[in-house]
Structure 1
Amino acid sequence: MTEHAPDFLVQTADLPWVPQGSNNVWFKPIRINLKKGTWVNLLKVARSGVVNRHRHLAEVEGWVLQGKWHYIEHDWQASPGAYVYEPPGDVHTLVADVEDESQPMLTLFSIHGPIEYMDADGNLAYVETAETKLKRYTDYCKEAGIEPADIVF
Structure 2
Amino acid sequence: MSSAITRLEAYKDDTMKRIPLPEHAARELFFTTDEDDERVWMPIGDGILARPMLFNPVQGSWVTLIKADKPGIVSRHRHPAPVTGYTLEGAWGYLEHDWTATPGSFLFEPAGETHTLVVDPEVGHMKCLFHNFGPLIFVDAEGNQTGYDDVFTRLEKFKAHYEANGLGAEFATRLIR
Give the TM-score of the pair, scaled to structure 2. Answer: 0.78
Q: Deviations over 1:83-109 (max 9, x none)?
A: 0110000000001125566xx311001
Match of 1:130 in 2: 151
Structure 2: distance between partners of 1:142 and 1:112: 26
> Which one has a larger percent helix, Structure 1 or Structure 2?
2
Is the 8 Å Cα contact of residues 66 and 80 (structure 1) preserved in structure 2?
yes
**Offset, 1:12:** 2.0
Correspondence for 2:109 among 82, 86, 99: 86
Q: Structure 1 residue 11: deviation in Å?
A: 2.7
Q: What are structure 2's unaligned runs of at least 5 residues?
A: 1-21
Question: In terms of Rg, which structure is larger?
Answer: 2
Which residue in the other structure is 1:144 paired with?
Answer: 165
Q: Which has the higher contact order (CA 8 A, sep 6+)?
A: 1
* Equivalences for residues 95-106 of structure 1 within 5 A: 95-97=118-120, 99=122, 104-106=125-127
**By percentage of residues, which structure has more strand?**
1
Shift of 1:56: 0.6
Residue 17 in structure 1 maps to residue 38 in structure 2: no
| Shift of residue 49, structure 1, vs aligned partner | 1.7
Q: Which amino acid aligns with 1:146?
A: L
Q: Is the 8 A contact 2:29 2:175 kept in 1?
A: no
SS at structure 2 position matched to 1:140: helix
Q: TM-score, length-normalised on structure 1?
A: 0.89
SS in 2 for 1:77: coil
Residue by residue over 1:28-81, the C-alpha shift from the partner in whole angstroms, topping out at 9 and shown as x without a partner, is 000001111100010001111212211011110000000000100001111000
CA distance 1:56–1:4, shift in 2 (3 Å): farther
2:16 — aligned with what?
none
Residue 137 (structure 2) aligns with: 116
Instruction: Count matched residues.
Output: 149
Identity %: 36
Distance 2:164 2:140 in 1: 27
146 and 57 in structure 1: CA distance in 2 versus 1, 3 angstrom threshold: same
Match of 2:19 in 1: none
Match of 2:77 in 1: 54
- Structure 2 counterpart of 1:126, one-letter code: G
Provide the aligned C-alpha RMSD in A: 1.8
| CA-CA distance at 1:6 after TM superposition | 1.9
Separation (CA, whole Å) in 2 of partners of 1:119 and 1:60 = 20
Distance 1:111 1:69 in 2: 18
